[in-house]
Amino acid sequence: TQLLEQSPQFLSIQEGENLTVYCNSSSVFSSLQWYRQEPGEGPVLLVTVVTGGEVKKLKRLTFQFGDARKDSSLHITAAQPGDTGLYLCAGRGNTGKLIFGQGTTLQVKP
Amino acid sequence: NAGVMQNPRHLVRRRGQEARLRCSPMKGHSHVYWYRQLPEEGLKFMVYLQKENIIDESGMPKERFSAEFPKEGPSILRIQQVVRGDSAAYFCASSLAGGTGANVLTFGAGSRLTVL
C-alpha cells in the first residue's frame, strides 16, 4: 500500500516567518504534486515535480522532490496571511489514482 | 470552458435515505475520480472511472456505495441507506488522460453531505 505522511499536521506562525512542510513515503512515486485547499473549495494544484532532486519555485514557495522520489518538501519564505490554508501533497499511485497525504493546516497570523 | 461541476453543493439526508452526488467533468476529460474528505483531513481515494468502466474501486466501501460514469451524462456517486458516518465532503476530479505520470487532475468544489 502506497502511503504519504505529511508533517506537521498543524502550523500556526506569525506573518514574515519561514516554514517547511514535509511529505514522506516508503514508496517511490513517478511524480508528486502539491495542492492548496481553502475552506469550502476543492484542492487547487500548485506544482508537479517529476525528476528526483528537482527544485521548483513559485514566488515565495519552493518545492523539492527527493533524490529517491520518495519524499518532497514545501518551503514558504516570509509567510503572509494569504498563505493560510490546507496544503496537500499527492503522489500518482499504481493505477493512476492520486494518493493524498493527510494535509498540513497552515495559519499565518498578521 | 467550465471546470468540474459538482451538484448539489450541499445535501442533507436523514439516516436510511439515499444520496446521489453528480459530477460533470471538464470538457474533453474522460477520466473521473471520487474522493472523500473529513474536516481538516486529506482526501481519501474512493473510485476511479473511465467512460462506462470502473478502473479502480479499491477505496469504495463494499456495501451501500456505488459509482458510475455512463457514456452520456455526469458521473454519479450513490450512497444507499446513509448513516451519520457518511457525513463528509465528496470531491470529484477529472483528467484528460489517466495512467502514470504528471497528468493534471482538476477538482470540483465538492458536495457536502450531512446525515441527520
Of B31, B103, B107, the CB nearest to A43: B107
Specify the DSSP element, H or E, that contains A85.
strand A85-92
User: Could you tell me the pLDDT band of residue A31, with boundaries at 50, 70 and 90?
Assistant: confident
Kind of pairing between the strands at A10-14 and A104-109: parallel
A64 touches A23 (CB < 8 A): no
CB within 8 Å of A55: residues ≥ 6 apart: A62, A63, A64, A65
Better-scored residue on pLDDT, B24 or B51: B24
Peptide bond into A8 cis (omega under 30): yes
Whether residue B35 lies within 8 A of chain A, CB to CB, comes out as yes
Kind of pairing between the strands at B43-50 and B31-37: antiparallel
CB contacts under 8 A, A 62-101 vs B, are 86, 88, 90, 92-101
Instruction: Give pLDDT tens digits for B26-52.
Output: 988 889 999 999 887 789 999 999 988
User: Could you tell me the pLDDT band of residue B113, with boundaries at 50, 70 and 90?
Assistant: very high
Q: Is the pLDDT of residue A22 over 80?
A: yes
Instruction: Give pLDDT tens digits for B57-111.
Output: 999 999 999 999 998 899 999 999 999 999 999 999 998 876 555 568 899 999 9
Residues A37-61: what's their mean pLDDT? Answer: 93
Report pLDDT for B102. Answer: 55
Q: Is the pLDDT of residue A78 over 90?
A: yes
CB contacts under 8 A, B 60-89 vs A, are none
Report pLDDT for B99. Answer: 53
CB within 8 Å of B79: residues ≥ 6 apart: B18, B19, B20, B21, B64, B65, B86, B113
Residue B11: all three cell numbers together:
445535501
| pLDDT above 90 coverage of chain A, percent | 79
Q: Which of B8, B77, B89, B42 minimizes the C-alpha distance to A9?
A: B42
Whether residue A13 lies within 8 A of chain B, CB to CB, comes out as no
Q: For an interface test with A, which of B21, B96, B100 has the most A Cβ atoms less than 10 Å from its Cβ?
A: B100
Peptide bond into B74 cis (omega under 30): no
Task: Give the 3-state secondary structure of residue B33.
Answer: strand
Rounded distance between C-alpha atoms, residue A2 and residue A96, angstroms: 12
Peptide bond into B8 cis (omega under 30): yes
Report pLDDT for A30. Answer: 85
Rounded distance between C-alpha atoms, residue B106 and residue B116, angstroms: 31
Amino acid of residue A106: L
Residue B77: all three cell numbers together:
456517486
Q: Is the pLDDT of residue A99 over 80?
A: yes
